[in-house]
Structure 1
Amino acid sequence: MSRKFISSILIAAVTVTGISLSAAPAKAGNDDLAKFLFGATALIIIGKAVSNNRAHATPRHEPRVVRPQPRHRKALPSSCLRLHHTWDGRVRMMSNRCLERKYRHVDRLPATCKTRLRTDQGLRKGYKMRCLRQHGYHIAQS
């Protein structure tokens, strides 16, 4: 119930009580009892309206909706994946030059994944694929 409704009931109760007190000369006996019962009934109605208002005012917590991030931003072009042979094994990495040409969000890639390798063909720059996967990136399906 709204505050306006409660205040209007309160005003009506006070007005009716004031009119009934001043309308007729006081009679002994049943008239005082009727006024008391009327006032008590008005207070009960007002109290019930206030308690109903408080019961409905409690906030209801709805579960928070977690929207997944768009996967297209974290989809890396498969043509940029390179397999390099180093002195201690094979390393899969995304070519830096290829990503700059074919991937729009290169500036958002994690800096911790950036690497440089010495291979048989010379120095190669790029991003470690294992590290990128740990940060949520994946190779796009073509």
Structure 2
Amino acid sequence: MHNKVFGLGTFDLNHRKFSFTPIGPVTTAITGLELTPDGKTAYTVVTNGNIGNKRCEFWKFEMPSAKLEDKVEFPCRSRFQFGMSADGKKLYIYGASYDIEVYDAATMKYEKTWDLAADATMAGMLILK
């Protein structure tokens, strides 16, 4: 049996090169990687476990070295989407509900909840500058 590993892959299309930096064992689920505008930091959400023992964490990566810099647990929703503000300063948890939870990207700590007063299930998020 092969051990499955999660990591960051980088493609250099100009030189047709690929590199992979292993981070750790595969998790139950992981969202897409959100990259800050300067390309130096990236965030994702990792989920481990199911229903009764489900844990969700923000993972922060330092991109030039592809190293995991920090992890912070937050309350899981049964379903959700993950996004980031255009300036890279806020992280958003949304979808399958009537609100958007806002977190500070630098600390990955909860700040506030925006009540949308309407069901946003399956809705996407557009970031307009």
- Give TM-score, length-normalised by structure 1: 0.17
Q: Greater CA radius of gyration, 1 or 2?
A: 1
Structure number having the greater strand percentage: 2
Structure number having the greater helix percentage: 1
- Give TM-score, length-normalised by structure 2: 0.18
Structure ranking higher on relative contact order (CA contacts 8 Å, 6+ apart): 1
